[in-house]
Structures are given as structure tokens and as C-alpha cells.
């Protein structure tokens, strides 16, 4: 175990995955455009963005399925340029799991050791071990077709982990699972990552997933990274309108609105739960009228129109709600108003 700590310590000095001005163009489409990125060893890193934002291409660049058009990629300090996927100690859990239909579960998991020339008995026991790790002991004899979606995903995970990769890539790992399974799997992935200390990089379009699982999040938009930070930073201090919009449902305030209400003329974001609704007495807060209300279980959402802007407000359930069409006043702390760099 001391040896393990030592090597963990030495890993800390390098960067797990680093992108320097990496671009990947497909014809005139700039899927990834001059991206700089550092992923730290042992980190649970999320790439978040809408479809077509370049996050999956970035993942494929790390795996080696794509080559950068420009720029360079290093994995644990080694140049990855021109290195085929099979020579990278990086493994991927595919979105459709990509289990080999002609092999049973055990042979699927043992595939990596098999092609590396590990003996039959040894790779079988390694595969059994990996299956135990993902809580599928004894499933080795089944065919992938006989498994449920959740089980297939665990097999895909075991198949990648058995190779002890330096970096594990997960492409929309929870996308195909139903809600309940998703929540369980989130927990499990998180604790697995902690226990193994492997760098996890996962791609998702679900901001909730990214915020709840990742140590750090990179928000992608149109081939570029718009912001990198911890989930708290991204959520509370979005740097741009796009990030504010995409991560959570922020109210984005245009410069003239902010100026009108005593701030600098800049774009700003205001979280719905930071707004309080007053009783509409003149001279206090921002005056508005209630457009609609909806019940969301633990909270209520109220839409208010103020100065031509529609604002979303989330209030805890149980608080009295104003009627539709009522005139209300809106209050927030100046510190909750987060000024941003620009619309993008």
C-alpha cells in the first residue's frame, strides 16, 4: 500500500490529460476549436454541453479515435499524437456499451487481457474480480443479450476497469437508463471512482448529472470550452449567458435592465431561488405582475413580468403564492446578482 501512495503522490505532479490549442475540424465544421484543457490525476471530470458542442469529439480525441487537426494532447506527460487507441492506456465505456455480442460476459470483460496475451486462467480470475467490483459476480456465463440495460452498463464498466486504465472515459454513461437506475448508478460511479483513484472523464448533456457527480465541469458550446470550474463555481458564477442558461435555469438580465435597477450596465444572471416575492408596495424592489404559477412538488415556480422581462422565481412549497395577474415586488441581494462577461 505504501507503494500505491507513493505513485499517487508522484502522479499529482503531472497532469492526467492536457489539451493545448486542440482543434478537430470535419471539413468546414469546427467540432473542436482551439481548446485548452487540463484534467488532474484522480479527478472526476465532466464535459457538459448540448449535442454538437464538441464534448464527445474531445472524449474521442483522448481515446484516440480522432486525431487533432491542430494542437497537441498529452496523457500523463506523454505525447499522444499519432498513437492509436490500442496503445493508449485509456479505456472507454461507450454510450451503447458496445459489448461484443458473440462473447459471453466473462469473455467480454477478459477481452483486454486476452489481446495483451494474459493467460486463460489469469484473465478469467481478473474478469471475475472486475465483475465482483461492479456487483455482477457469477454473471460471466451469460450473453450480453440476456442482460438488462443497467447490467450491460456494469459489464461495460468492468470490461474497461479490468485493464486498470490511467484514464477512464465515459460517454453519456447514464443516458440510456431510467431515472431510478440512473440515481443508483451515479452514486456507484462516484464511490467506485473514489475507491480506485482512477481519473474519470465523462461526457453528458445533463447538467444535473454533471453538477452532482463531477469534481470539476467544463461547459462546451460550439466547439469551445465556455467555462471550467467546480460545480459550485459554474452554478453560482456563470461566466456567460450561455453557461447561465444551460446550467440550471438562471434568469439572464440584459445590461439595460441591470442598469435600470442600480447596477453596472452588464449582462448578469440571477438564480430563480435567490429572488423573494414581496407584496407589491410601491417604492420597494422591482415591480412586476404574475403571469403564471406551477407546482413542482418541493417548490413552486412563479413567472413574473417586470420591465418587459420574464423572470422565473422558485419559492419553497408552503409559502403563500400571489394570484395570477397580481402586482408584486421582487427583491434580491446585490451579492446574488452575478455579473457576466458577455452573452456567450
Partner 1 sequence: MRSDRQQSAPLALKIAAAAGLLFLHLPLLLIFVYAFTTEEKSYQWPPPGFTTQWFAVAWNRPDVWQALTLSVQVAAISTAIALVLGTLCAAAVSQTKFFGRETISLLVILPIALPGIITGIALRSAFNLAEIPFSFWTIILGHATFCVVVVYNNAVARFRRMSGSLIEASMDLGADGFQTFRHVILPNIGTALLAGGMLAFALSFDEVIVTTFTAGQQQTLPIWMLEELVRPRQRPVTNVVAMVVVLVTLLPILAAYYLTRDGDQIAGGGK
Partner 2 sequence: MSAEAMLRPAPAVAILPSRGGIVGALSDLFWRKPGLLLFLMLAPPVLWLGIVYLGSLLALLLQSFFSIDEFSGLINRELTLKTYGELFLPANLDIIIRTVTMAAIVTIASAIIAFPIAYYAARYARGKWKALFYLGIMLPLWSSYLVKIYAWKLILAKEGILTWLFEKLHLMWLIDAWLSIPVVGGNSLSVSATGTFIVFVYVWLPFMVLPIQAALERVPGSLIEASSDLGASPAQTFRNVLFPLALPGVVAGSIFTFSLTLGDYIIPQIIGTSRLFIGQAVYAHQGTAGNIPLAAAFTVVPIVVMGFYLWGAKRMGAFDAL
Q: Which cell numbers in the block locate residue 275?
A: 429572488
**Cα 263 to Cα 36, 38, 308, distances in angstroms:** 33, 35, 18
Pairing of strands 224-229, 216-221: antiparallel
Question: Which of partner 2, partner 1, none sits in contact with 160, Cβ below 5 to 8 A by type?
Answer: partner 1
Question: Which of partner 2, partner 1, none sits in contact with 31, Cβ below 5 to 8 A by type?
Answer: none
Task: Decide: is 82 part of the binding site for partner 2 (CB under 8 A).
Answer: yes
CB of 162 to partner 2, least distance (A): 8
**Cα 225 to Cα 18, 61, 188, 270, distances in angstroms:** 14, 15, 28, 22
Question: Which of partner 1, partner 2, none sits in contact with 8, Cβ below 5 to 8 A by type?
Answer: partner 2
Task: Determine which residue in the list 22, 174, 198, 268 makes contact with partner 2, applying CB under 8 A.
Answer: 198
Q: Which stretch binds partner 1 (CB under 8 A): 38-46, 80-88, 177-185, 248-256?
A: 80-88
Task: Decide: is 5 part of the binding site for partner 1 (CB under 8 A).
Answer: no
Task: Decide: is 126 part of the binding site for partner 2 (CB under 8 A).
Answer: yes
Work out the angle between the directed axes of helices 120-133 and 149-161 (0-180°, nearest 10).
130
Buried b (16+ CB within 10 A) or exposed e, 243-272: bbbbbbebbbbbbebbeebeeeeebbbbbb
Task: Determine which residue in the list 113, 140, 165, 248 makes contact with partner 2, applying CB under 8 A.
Answer: 165
Looking at the DSSP assignment, which residues form a beta bridge with residue 52?
A: none
Q: Which stretch binds partner 1 (CB under 8 A): 87-95, 174-182, 213-221, 279-287?
A: 87-95
Task: Decide: is 119 part of the binding site for partner 2 (CB under 8 A).
Answer: no
Task: Decide: is 63 part of the binding site for partner 1 (CB under 8 A).
Answer: yes
By beta-carbon proximity to partner 1, the closer residue of 75 and 258 is 75
Total interface residues for partner 1 by CB under 8 A: 27
Task: Decide: is 159 part of the binding site for partner 1 (CB under 8 A).
Answer: yes
Q: Are 31 and 25 in contact (CB under 8 A)?
A: yes
Residues 96-125 interacting with partner 1 (rule: CB under 8 A): 96, 98-103, 111-112, 114-116
What residue spans of 117-240 are helical by DSSP H? 120-133, 149-161, 179-196, 207-213, 231-236
CB of 103 to partner 1, least distance (A): 8
**Cα 203 to Cα 49, 56, 168, distances in angstroms:** 8, 6, 11
Task: Determine which residue in the list 21, 72, 79, 230 makes contact with partner 2, applying CB under 8 A.
Answer: 79
Q: Are 173 and 189 in contact (CB under 8 A)?
A: yes
Task: Decide: is 90 part of the binding site for partner 2 (CB under 8 A).
Answer: yes
Distance (Å, whole) CA 244 – CA 238 = 5
Look at the alpha carbons of 137, 86, 89, 125 in this order and tell me if their dihedral is positive or negative: positive
Task: Determine which residue in the list 22, 46, 63, 167 makes contact with partner 2, applying CB under 8 A.
Answer: 167
CB of 201 to partner 2, least distance (A): 13
Task: Determine which residue in the list 103, 118, 133, 260 makes contact with partner 2, applying CB under 8 A.
Answer: 133
Distance (Å, whole) CA 78 – CA 92 = 19
Total interface residues for partner 2 by CB under 8 A: 32
Cβ-Cβ contacts under 8 Å for 166 (sequence gap 6 or more):
16, 75, 76, 89, 90, 198, 199
Task: Decide: is 200 part of the binding site for partner 1 (CB under 8 A).
Answer: no
Contacting positions for partner 1 (CB under 8 A) = 63-65, 84-87, 90-92, 94-96, 98-103, 111-112, 114-116, 159-160, 163
Q: Give residues in contact with partner 2 (CB under 8 A).
A: 4, 7-8, 75-80, 82-84, 86-90, 125-126, 129-130, 132-133, 161, 164-167, 195-198
Amino acid at each position: 500500500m505504501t507503494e500505491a501512495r507513493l505513485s499517487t503522490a508522484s502522479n499529482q505532479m503531472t497532469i492526467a490529460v492536457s489539451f493545448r490549442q486542440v482543434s478537430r475540424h470535419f471539413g468546414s465544421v469546427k467540432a473542436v476549436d482551439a481548446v485548452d484543457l487540463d484534467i488532474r490525476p484522480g479527478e472526476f471530470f465532466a464535459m457538459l454541453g448540448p449535442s454538437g458542442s464538441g464534448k464527445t469529439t474531445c472524449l474521442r480525441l483522448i481515446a484516440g479515435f480522432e486525431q487533432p487537426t491542430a494542437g497537441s494532447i498529452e496523457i500523463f506527460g506523454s505525447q499522444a499524437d499519432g498513437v492509436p487507441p490500442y496503445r493508449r492506456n485509456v479505456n472507454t465505456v461507450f454510450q451503447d456499451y458496445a459489448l461484443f455480442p458473440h462473447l459471453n460476459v466473462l469473455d467480454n470483460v477478459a477481452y483486454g487481457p486476452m489481446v495483451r496475451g494474459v493467460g486463460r486462467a489469469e484473465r478469467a480470475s481478473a474478469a471475475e474480480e472486475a465483475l465482483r467490483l461492479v456487483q455482477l459476480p457469477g454473471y460471466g456465463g451469460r450473453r450480453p443479450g440476456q442482460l438488462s440495460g443497467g447490467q450491460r452498463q456494469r459489464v461495460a464498466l468492468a470490461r474497461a476497469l479490468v485493464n486498470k486504465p490511467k484514464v477512464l472515459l465515459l460517454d453519456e454513461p447514464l443516458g440510456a437508463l431510467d431515472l431510478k437506475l440512473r440515481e443508483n448508478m451515479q452514486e456507484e460511479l462516484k464511490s467506485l471512482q473514489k475507491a480506485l483513484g482512477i481519473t474519470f472523464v465523462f461526457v453528458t448533456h445533463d447538467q444535473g448529472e454533471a453538477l452532482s457527480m463531477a469534481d470539476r465541469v467544463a461547459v462546451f458550446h460550439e466547439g469551445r470550452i465556455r467555462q471550467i470550474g467546480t460545480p459550485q463555481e459554474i452554478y453560482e458564477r456563470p461566466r456567460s449567458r450561455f453557461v447561465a442558461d444551460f446550467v440550471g435555469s438562471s434568469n439572464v438580465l440584459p445590461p439595460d435592465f441591470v442598469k435600470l435597477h442600480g447596477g453596472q450596465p452588464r449582462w448578469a444572471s440571477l438564480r430563480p431561488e435567490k429572488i423573494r416575492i414581496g407584496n407589491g408596495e410601491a417604492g420597494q424592489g422591482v415591480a412586476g405582475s404574475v403571469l403564471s404559477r406551477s407546482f413542482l412538488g418541493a417548490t413552486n415556480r412563479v413567472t413574473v413580468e417586470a420591465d418587459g422581462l420574464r423572470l422565473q422565481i422558485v419559492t419553497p412549497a408552503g409559502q403563500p403564492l400571489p394570484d395570477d395577474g397580481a402586482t408584486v415586488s421582487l427583491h434580491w441581494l446585490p451579492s446574488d446578482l452575478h455579473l457576466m462577461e458577455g452573452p456567450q
